[in-house]
Structure 1
Amino acid sequence: MKNKFLPKKFFITTGKGQSDTSEMNAFDNALIKAGIGQCNLVKVSSILPKNCEEIPPVKIEPGTITFVVLSRSNGKKGEKISAGIGYAIMKNERGYGIVAEDCNNRSEEKAREEIQKKLREMASSRKMEIERIRIETETLEIDSEFGCVIAALVYLF
């Protein structure tokens, strides 16, 4: 049976946004900066299908139902926030990948370390060996009343 919901491609994007109005507006601004503010996002968990190809970010038609693994961090004026997402491709014949996210009030370096730790544990739990890892992060020192950073792995069909 052919699986209509098996992504063939994906991309990673990040964004940050601020607002003096609300947390929701800061989130919306972060999505716009990331290039996915016009999409209807559906959060999914953390498996990359075998042979799913990473491509550069592309424009998606407004209103498209879009599946994402999303990392999001919100904060208030004066805070520093971060969000990151990473994936690991496995060495063995199963060949699929795993995705981990991190969001917190920590440095970019700490976020990267946390994502690597999460990916290594996910691989270990599956008795799989990692071939390669890729991580992207976004940080923000908030000047406005509200701030938001996001990192997303966006699936394409």
Structure 2
Amino acid sequence: MLPTPTRYSVTAACAEGSTALNAFDNALLAARIGNVNLVRLSSILPPNAVYDPDLQLPPGALVPTAYGSIVCDAEGELIAAAVGVIISPDGIGVIMEYGGKCSRQEAHDTVSKMLDEAFARRGLTAQEKRIAAVEHRVERVGCCLAAVPLWY
């Protein structure tokens, strides 16, 4: 029997909260990963991982996740987060994430350049690239989060 391949999704969302942790939690909920325990990853996608845009995660599960986020309490500040995955034809993948005080497009472009540099450094060519990015204008305490959760 063949092992079940790793599945992953690419998600991003923003939210407000009364505190930094509540804003982060609300962004997790908006990104559909708020009822699991994130285990933070660095930047390598498991070989031959399969993209699943409707990835369902069991509540309370320990979920390996690469993510970038920003929390800000400066009213009116524009914040953004982005995450991306780049995969070679032989199934090797890299994940890059970013959060900062910028626009959605700037966050997207930053992650895209990071992915390109990571593959160039490895001498790899890209078969596919997926990027999710969001922006938010802070009202009280805002959070933008972009993540790649993995499930086995």
CA distance in 1, matches of 2:34, 2:114: 28
Q: Deviations over 1:98-150 (max 9, x none)?
A: 1111111111111111111111111111111122211110111112x200010
Is 1:156 aligned with 2:144?
no
| Separation of aligned partners in 1, 2:22 and 2:35 | 14
Check conservation: 1:75, 1:147, Cα contact below 8 A.
yes
What is the CA-CA distance between 1:58 and the residue it aligns to?
3.0
Contact 1:12/1:57 (8 A) holds in 2 = no
Q: How big is the alpha-carbon RMSD for the aligned residues of Structure 1 and Structure 2?
A: 1.8
**Aligned equivalent of 1:29:** 26
Residue 63 of structure 2: which of 62, 66, 69 is its match? 66
Give the TM-score of the pair, scaled to structure 2: 0.91
- Name the residue aligned to 1:100: 96
CA distance in structure 1 between the aligned counterparts of 2:55 and 2:122, rounded to whole angstroms: 32
Cα distance in 2 for residues equivalent to 1:101 and 1:26: 19
Work out the number of aligned pairs and report it. Answer: 150
- Structure 2's unaligned 5+ residue stretches are none
| Distance (Å, rounded) in 1 between the aligned partners of 2:129 and 2:59 | 31
In 1, distance between residues paired with 2:80 and 2:54? 21
Is contact 1:38-1:63 (8 Å) kept?
A: yes
**Which residue type is aligned with residue 124 of structure 1?**
A
Per-residue deviation, 1:7: 5.8
- SS in structure 1 opposite 2:65? strand
What is the CA deviation profile of residues 40-86 of structure 1, one whole-angstrom value per residue up to 9, with x for unaligned ones? 11100111122210012333222110110011011122111000001
* Rounded Cα–Cα distance in structure 1 between residues aligned with 2:51 and 2:110: 22
SS of 1:58's equivalent? coil
Pairing 1:45-60 to 2, within 5 Å after superposition: 45-60=42-57
1:64 to 1:119, Cα distance in 2 relative to 1, 3 A = same
% identical equivalent positions: 30
